[in-house]
Copies of this chain bind each other. A is one copy, B any other.
Amino acid sequence: MQRAPEWEFDRAVAIRPAEAPGVFTGQIADGWDIGGNANGGYVLAMAVNAMRAASGRPDPITVTAHFLAPVAPGPVEIHTEIAKTGKRLVTVAGAMRREGRELLRMLGAFGDASAGAAMPSQLHGAPPELPPPHECVARSIVGGAVEVPLANRLQMLLHPDDAGVQADQPTGEGVVRGSFQFTDGREVDTLALVLACDSFPPSIFNLRDVPRGWVPTVELTVHVRGVPSPGPLRGRFQTRFVSGGAMEEDGQIWDSDDQLVALSRQYALVANPAA
């Protein structure tokens, strides 16, 4: 008999094998949502948890998801298919469904994120510099007119220079920097990096003259570049290009040893001011 996981993130992303091979079931939990819809990073983390189990490898290395419908709390099925088992990577395709309805599609490669740790590295970039925690601004549990229960699960401290993003006081630079850790003290592993890459306030809202409103993610890709050291992570998210009713958001996640542990990019739709 399995003991219930100690940490709330592990309980929230728990999956179990169904009878059909390659199929897993899970329960999208309450309290990881923004205005009633589960956070995309959280939902994807559960899907990745199932794909990782199917792969037999310890870590997601590069994972892409297409988000097909908002996900309310409740049961889901995750269907996985091994496309290729290689020496270094196992490639897995996946779909998350509820009562036959498509919620997410995924494609990912799984391996050992610590395998190359001894290889030479060059980082032409640096983690964001954050002031001491007491000078940072906590991620708000309300965002405009909607509640953000997700913010209770995470201890997110925003750089004070970027915090206008959540007060409708855009800086004019589409950048959001801040720190990320779990409220209950669970360390961030490579699975939780998927959540970290999609839980900051949207960097587009620090641009001026962009329509406010929901910016639904169409596609999110996360590259896991290393296993995070213990301690809070720092993230930097940026939107440079808003055009054609769409935008990108590029993310970097750095650990407490100043190592880059994840890159992310998403393609999202921008609210249509004419609609």
Residues of A at the B interface (CB closer than 8 Å) are 61-62, 64, 66, 68-69, 83-84, 86, 88-89, 91, 93, 95, 102, 105-107, 109, 113-117, 119-125, 173-174, 207, 209-211, 218-219, 221, 223, 225-226, 240-246, 248, 259-260, 263, 265, 267, 269-270, 272-274
Contacts and interface: CB of A to CB of B under 8 A. Distances in A.
Contact of A244 (B113, B210, B242, B272): B113
6 contacts: A61-B218, A62-B218, A84-B102, A120-B273, A122-B209, A221-B265
A87 B269 CA distance: 13
B246 A116 contact: yes
A240 B119 CA distance: 16
A93 B91 contact: no
Given A68-B83, A122-B210, A116 B243 contact: yes
Contacts of A102: 83-84, 91
A267 B168 CA distance: 35
A165 B120 CA distance: 20
Given A119-B245, A242-B122, A243-B260, A105 B105 contact: no
A83 to B, nearest CB: 5
Contact of A242 (B62, B120, B241, B270): B120
Contacts of A64: 64, 107, 219, 221
Contacts of A120: 209-211, 242, 273
B223 A121 contact: no
